């Protein structure tokens, strides 16, 4: 007797409820708004970076009997004077060097064409250089320059906005901090203060790392160009130090002006400068950056390299600049929130006990106290704990 046929499976039906559709629309709208507000987010982040960098200096001045308002004014004035000094040192010299290179371009091109014409493999390249059409090049560069000038104006406007936002945050620190603590659950105030304190340490470490690597690049470039007898070595070294901040394209902006300035000293000097600059760039990226940022931000060298690649891929230059502090902040949040990762088995009983003791002290000292004063007490407790942890490590 034949076996009975099995009943066919019921058809797959997908039903979208009104709640699911509204949630999908809300997520899409939030994503669209987030993408549109990306420049605003970057302005806020840059402002917080400035606050985290400059606030320790202001607090140091406060400890030395300087009023906070006066200290903020002194710090921002010093930053403005430093920026103007760098611009005054670099821009006139760069313009002068560029004009000199333009004037010497026919002779340099003729010399290069003569060298290339001596070999059959480079004969076609020599012919192309000999017949360069500058009119077409100028037209294409003109349109590109207009586009980049517009973007540069936007970047400058965003940067000025970030500076003023940082100034406002530092001036109105107590009220803003009180408002933040007022909306946060009271039992999380001590943890919030620790997170903010560690974020300030991370930002400070990141900025110190940037200043250190940029300063070393400037010093190396200055010594190299001075030994090679290149004019305007100081200005070009400053440009190389500033360009060193930019990931990926920084190598071109650092090496390019140095090599262009060395062109006036002959082919051998150009080769020496080019090889030395590229060797130092490799040394910096492979040795200095992982160790400097790894020590300051407590990140392994592999995480530093992966974070730079991921940030640059996702958001370009801003993403690469923010990758390291963001990675360090995520690591810190996992540690502070006592999140147990799947592959880790860490005994954090002592840390949790210390957290509970800090919360009890905070509750005892802030009973009936306004949010602004309570925030200051939470910061005091966190700073005391951080100092004790630093002393134990030493």
> 329 and 216: one domain?
yes
Q: Please tell me the distance from the alpha carbon of residue 250 to that of residue 281, in angstroms, as a whole number.
A: 10
> Are 375 and 193 within 8 A, CB to CB?
yes
Give a yes or no: residue 137 inside a domain: yes
- Judge if 224 and 277 occupy the same domain: yes
Q: 305 is in which domain, residue-wise?
A: 185-389
Question: Are 240 and 384 found together in one domain?
Answer: yes
The predicted structure's pLDDT at residue 223: 93
- 77 lies in some domain: yes
How far is the first Cα of the chain from the last one, in angstroms, to the nearest whole number?
86
DSSP tag of 285: I
Write down the H helix ranges in 244-347: 250-262, 267-283, 289-297, 301-336
Co-location of 148 and 49 in the same domain: yes
pLDDT tens for each residue of the chain, 394 residues long: 555 555 666 665 666 677 777 888 888 888 888 778 777 888 888 888 888 888 888 888 988 888 888 999 999 999 889 888 877 877 787 677 667 666 766 776 777 777 767 777 777 777 777 766 666 555 555 556 566 667 778 878 888 888 888 888 888 887 888 788 788 887 788 888 888 888 877 887 788 788 888 889 999 999 999 999 887 787 788 888 888 887 667 788 888 888 888 877 878 888 899 999 999 988 888 888 777 766 667 777 677 777 777 777 776 767 777 777 888 888 888 777 776 666 666 666 777 777 788 878 888 888 877 777 878 888 888 878 777 777 766 5
Domain assignment present for 30: no
Provide the number of structural domains found in the chain: 2
**Do 145 and 189 lie in a common domain?**
no
Q: Indicate the residue among 171, 205, 238 that finishes a domain.
A: 171
Question: Which residue's entry shows tokens 């905070």?
Answer: 362
Q: Is residue 29 part of a domain?
A: no
Q: What is the four-CA torsion angle of 157, 163, 167, 172, rounded to 10 degrees?
A: 70
Q: Is residue 141 domain-shared with residue 227, that is, in the same domain?
A: no
Tell me, yes or no, whether 119 lies in a domain: yes
């Amino acid at each position: 007797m034949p076996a009975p046929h099995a009943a066919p499976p019921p058809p797959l039906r997908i039903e979208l409820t009104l709640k699911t559709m509204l949630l999908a629309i809300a997520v899409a709208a939030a994503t669209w708004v987030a993408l549109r507000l990306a420049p605003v987010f970057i302005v806020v982040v840059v402002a917080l970076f400035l606050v985290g960098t400059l606030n320790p200096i202001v607090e140091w001045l406060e400890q030395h009997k300087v009023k906070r308002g006066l200290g903020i004014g002194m710090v921002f004035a010093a930053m403005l004077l430093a920026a103007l000094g760098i611009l005054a040192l670099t821009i006139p010299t760069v313009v002068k060097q560029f004009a000199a290179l333009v004037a010497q371009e026919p002779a340099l091109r003729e010399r290069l064409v003569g060298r290339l014409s001596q070999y059959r493999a480079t004969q076609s390249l020599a012919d192309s250089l000999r017949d360069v059409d500058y009119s077409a090049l100028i037209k294409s560069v003109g349109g590109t320059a207009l586009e980049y000038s517009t973007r540069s104006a936007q970047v400058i406007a965003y940067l000025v906005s970030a500076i003023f936002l940082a100034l406002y945050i530092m001036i109105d620190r107590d009220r803003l901090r009180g408002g933040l603590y007022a909306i946060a659950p009271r039992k999380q105030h001590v943890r919030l203060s620790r997170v903010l304190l560690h974020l300030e340490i991370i930002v400070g470490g990141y900025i110190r790392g940037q200043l250190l690597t940029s300063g070393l690049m400037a010093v190396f470039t200055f010594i190299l160009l001075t030994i090679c007898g290149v004019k305007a070595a100081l200005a070009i070294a400053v440009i190389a130090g500033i360009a060193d901040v930019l990931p990926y394209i920084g190598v071109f902006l650092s090496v390019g002006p140095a090599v262009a300035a060395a062109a006036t000293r002959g082919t051998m000097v150009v080769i020496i400068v080019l090889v030395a600059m590229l060797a130092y760039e490799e040394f910096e990226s492979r040795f200095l950056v992982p160790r400097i940022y790894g020590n300051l931000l407590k990140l392994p060298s592999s995480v530093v390299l992966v974070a730079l690649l991921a940030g640059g891929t996702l958001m370009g230059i801003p993403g690469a600049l923010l990758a390291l502090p963001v990675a360090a902040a995520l690591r810190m949040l996992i540690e502070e929130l006592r999140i147990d990762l799947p592959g880790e088995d860490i005994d954090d009983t002592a840390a949790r006990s210390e957290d509970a003791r800090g919360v009890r002290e905070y509750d005892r000292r802030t009973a009936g106290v306004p949010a602004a004063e309570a925030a200051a007490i939470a910061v005091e407790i966190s700073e005391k704990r951080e100092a004790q942890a630093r002393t134990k490590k030493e």
